[in-house]
Amino acid sequence: MAIDAFLLILSMFALGYLFARLKALPENAADVLNRVVLHLCLPAAVLLSIPRLHFEWRLLGLAITPWLAGILAVGLVRLVCRAPRFRRDEYAVLLLCVALGNTGFIGYPVIRALLGEHAQAYAVIYDQFGTFLMLSTYGLFVCARFGGNAPPSPVVILGRIARFPPAWALLIGLTLMPAAPPEWLARLLESLAQAMLPLVMLAVGFSLRFQLPRGEMRALALGLFLKLLALPALAWGFSLLIGLKGEMLRANVLETAMPPMITAAALAVAHNLAPRLAAALAGYGILCALFTLPFWMWLL
């Protein structure tokens, strides 16, 4: 299953990149594909997996890990950036892109492909109660702190959460959705969830531009090392410490090993915080993750 999943990831990524170079699709194709995933595929994956989840105290570890990884990321970035020649905007981008991983758009389909449908619920817990809330609070705060805007108010944060379709799917999945829905509904949700991986990787390959920031190579290398190697190793140790086992442990480490979040990089670009570095962390992060994720899968 893992080999088939990575072949699918690589092929769709390459096709997206090829389509962009050949101008075979409209310029807004990636945006359209991402909206389809956001409004249909991600909610379907949440509705399909969450009602089947048997709640136990270890699930708290999945929700805590991204917050712990974020705290460690801040500490490590602050420690390293005390060295000279790191600009203020580079520091801000590292705070965003090292702490926030692409645990939704890429995490859901990759976990599903590598570990199976049942493990997708673990990715949902990690993403919705961890990464997404961090983006809506910590991410907005960093942009405001270093981008010159006012800190986000609770109303702004709640509004962002309320407008996120998977958050509504999570609420319905926790309250109204049965574990065994009608067969027609289960098939519909399954089809939408299975479409997520090819659509996401096609959109990623189509939209990314690999522009090497020559003057920001140290920051780029540091960010990718921390995000793809150091933080997953720390998450593995934390997972063992709190007693996570089997698929739950693997999902926890692999979610932590996801590349920097594209939305976090887009926020940095929108606030004019080292735009080339932010784009490079997102682009090269996904490219490097095609090698580091199999490495973590092999270790686990």
Q: What is the pLDDT of residues 180-217, one digit of tens each?
A: 889 999 999 999 988 888 888 888 888 776 666 677 88
Q: Which of 100, 105, 121, 112 is nearest to 41 (CA)?
A: 105
Asked whether 38 and 165 are in contact (CB, 8 A), the reply is yes
Per-residue confidence (pLDDT) for residue 161, from 0 to 100: 80
Q: What tokens were used for 85? A: 């020649």
Per-residue confidence (pLDDT) for residue 187, from 0 to 100: 93
Asked whether 177 and 245 are in contact (CB, 8 A), the reply is no
pTM for this predicted structure = 0.88
Chain centre to alpha carbon of residue 206: 18
Report the share of the chain in percent with pLDDT over 70: 95
Per-residue confidence (pLDDT) for residue 240, from 0 to 100: 95
Asked whether 125 and 62 are in contact (CB, 8 A), the reply is yes
pLDDT band, very low/low/confident/very high, at 237 (cuts 50, 70, 90)? very high
Tell me what the pLDDT averaged over the chain comes to: 88
User: Residue 258 above 60 pLDDT?
Assistant: yes
Q: Dump the DSSP string for 70-99.
A: HHHHHHHHHHHTTSTT--HHHHHHHHHHHH
Bridge partners (DSSP) listed for residue 101: 260
Could you give the CA distance from residue 98 to residue 113 in angstroms, rounded to a whole number?
24
Per-residue confidence (pLDDT) for residue 15, from 0 to 100: 92
Could you give the CA distance from residue 125 to residue 63 in angstroms, rounded to a whole number?
6
Could you give the CA distance from residue 127 to residue 163 in angstroms, rounded to a whole number?
16
